[in-house]
Amino acid sequence: MKLSILDQCPIFDRQTAKDALYEACKLAQQAEQLGYARYWVAEHHDLRGLACPAPEVLLAFIGAHTSKIRIGAGAILLPHYKPYKVAELFNMLATLFPNRIDLGIGRAPGGSAEATNALSDRFLQQVWDMPKLITELLLFLDNEAFAEHDYSSLSASPVPDISPVPWLLGTSKKSAILAAEKGLAYNFGLFMSDKDVQECIELYKNRFRPRKEGEKQQLLLTVSVICAHTKAEAEAIATRSLQFASQNVNTSQKELEAKKEKMVIGDPVFVKEKLQKLVEQYQADEVMIVTNTDNPLDRLQSFQLLANECFVK
């Protein structure tokens, strides 16, 4: 089973944002040593408890401190930006770290309405224009000419020998269809939504059209996981971690329980079996794990135990 990591860069108890960003780099290094396939960082804006508004900056730092693990954004929130700038940023990363860069794209705001307005004057219109924005981004990433377009002679320099791999992230039928029609790899966020999962995945697989000859569909499931030595320990960590997270966002007990229901919580054997069942159920190529705890040691332990169970045995 192929496993990867999504890091939302949580600011742990008694930490600063700087501490959290250095913890992210440390986790990426440990993920590489443990055998995880890729490490992605998420984009959030002015959200208490999360430290990374600019994945492209953190990825440059992490790339310089790792050597082989694939690194990427999960996701760059495209409606906030011009596709050309995003292509430049990730071509730059792909030039510095060849054959290691993933560019995950999302359309969520990633923060409050106030933050969204500060980032973009036309966010809702840009969400509506997402298919067009993705098409433009892909043309820049592929270094292809724009027919009858103002950008016909423009290149997103530096152009790397191996382009970043584009992914679309989502939780809906709309995102599944868009990923399929654009020929993109698709990351379904199970940790955010468990509705219409089978239908979304079937839409993606049935409607997939390769962008280039020989390219195949790729399906990745992102799952929230807490793994510990025992089920009881994992449950205690999960409860404590959700309560800690709720201090930053007004969350009711019912909402906490709903979040916990979506998580995979248990000892290494249980977690591995649960993840394998999800892979089989949805015919996924890979599982990406997000683990948020109230301290870095529990988080690292979770990834270590799971790696030992999945990669060593």
Q: Within a domain: residue 81? A: yes
Q: Within a domain: residue 9? A: yes
d(CA 100, CA 35): 15
What would the pLDDT profile of 82-93 be if each residue is shown by its tens digit? 999 999 999 999
Tokens of 203: 């839409």
Q: Within a domain: residue 242? A: no
Least confident of 24-28, 235-239, 250-254: 250-254
Least confident of 171-175, 252-256, 290-294: 252-256
Which pLDDT does position 151 carry in this prediction?
77
Helix axis angle, 17-34 relative to 55-64, nearest 10°?
Answer: 50
What would the pLDDT profile of 185-228 be if each residue is shown by its tens digit? 999 999 998 889 999 999 999 999 999 888 999 999 999 999 99
Q: Within a domain: residue 48? A: yes
- pLDDT above 90 coverage of the chain, percent: 87
Give the domain extent around 55: 3-220
DSSP 98: T
d(CA 244, CA 2): 30
- Residue 283 zone, left/alpha/beta (φ > 0; ψ -120 to 50; rest): left
Q: Within a domain: residue 267? A: no
Q: Within a domain: residue 308? A: no
Task: Kindly report the pTM of this predicted structure.
Answer: 0.96
Q: Within a domain: residue 172? A: yes
Which contiguous run of DSSP H or E holds residue 56? helix 55-64
CATH number at residue 18: 3.20.20.30
Q: Give the number of domains in the chain.
A: 1
Q: Within a domain: residue 232? A: no
Helix/strand/coil for 9: coil
Which pLDDT does position 106 carry in this prediction?
97
